C-alpha cells in the first residue's frame, strides 16, 4: 500500500494506492490509522480517505479503516471516504461501513460536505 498525503482547504486528504490487506502490511509499515493519528496529534480535524486507486480490501483493511474512524471520532474530528471502486464499495456495504462513515462518489463532493 502506498500513501500520498495532501492538504486542501484545511482538509487532510490521504490518497491510497494498492491493496488494503494484511499481506501488504508488515508490522513495521505505515498504516492508514498511523497516518491519521499523526495528523490528529498535529491538530487536523477534517479527513478524506481517497480510495480511487485501491482495488482490494480485506478484513485487515476494514479494521484499519474503522480504527482510523474511531481515532478521529475520539478527537472530535470528521473522517469521510471518497472515490470507491464498485468492488470495494460492495465489500464496505456488506460490512455496514456506510452506516457509520460518510461515503462520497468523488473528492469534490467530500470536500464540499465540510463546508
* Burial of residue 23 (number of CB atoms within 10 Å: 0-12, 13-18, 19+): exposed
Return the domain boundaries, the chain.
Answer: 2-113
Answer for the pair 54, 16: CB distance below 8 angstroms, yes or no.
Answer: yes
Q: Specify the CATH number for 2-113; select among 3.40.50.720, 3.50.50.60, 3.30.750.24, 1.10.580.10.
A: 3.30.750.24
**What are residue 37's phi and psi, to 5 degrees?**
-60, -40
* Burial of residue 63 (number of CB atoms within 10 Å: 0-12, 13-18, 19+): middle
Q: How far apart are CA 46 and CA 85, in angstroms?
A: 22
Q: For 21-77, write each residue's pLDDT tens digit.
A: 877 555 557 889 999 999 999 999 999 999 999 999 999 999 999 999 999 999 999
Q: How far apart are CA 14 and CA 20, in angstroms?
A: 13
Query: Among 95, 111, 103, 3, which Cα is nearest to 57's?
Result: 95
Q: For 7-23, write each residue's pLDDT tens digit.
A: 998 999 999 999 888 77
pLDDT score recorded for residue 29: 73
Amino acid at each position: 500500500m502506498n500513501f500520498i498525503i495532501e492538504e486542501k482547504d484545511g482538509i487532510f486528504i490521504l490518497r491510497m494506492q494498492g491493496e488494503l490487506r494484511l499481506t501488504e502490511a508488515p508490522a513495521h509499515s505505515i498504516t492508514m490509522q498511523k497516518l491519521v493519528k499523526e495528523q490528529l496529534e498535529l491538530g487536523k480535524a477534517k479527513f478524506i480517505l481517497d480510495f480511487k486507486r485501491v482495488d482490494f480490501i480485506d478484513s485487515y483493511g476494514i479494521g484499519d479503516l474503522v480504527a482510523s474512524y474511531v481515532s478521529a471520532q475520539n478527537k472530535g474530528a470528521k473522517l469521510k471516504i471518497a472515490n470507491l471502486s464498485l468492488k470495494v464499495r460492495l465489500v464496505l456495504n456488506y460490512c455496514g461501513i456506510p452506516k457509520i462513515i460518510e461515503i462520497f462518489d468523488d473528492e469534490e463532493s467530500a470536500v464540499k460536505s465540510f463546508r
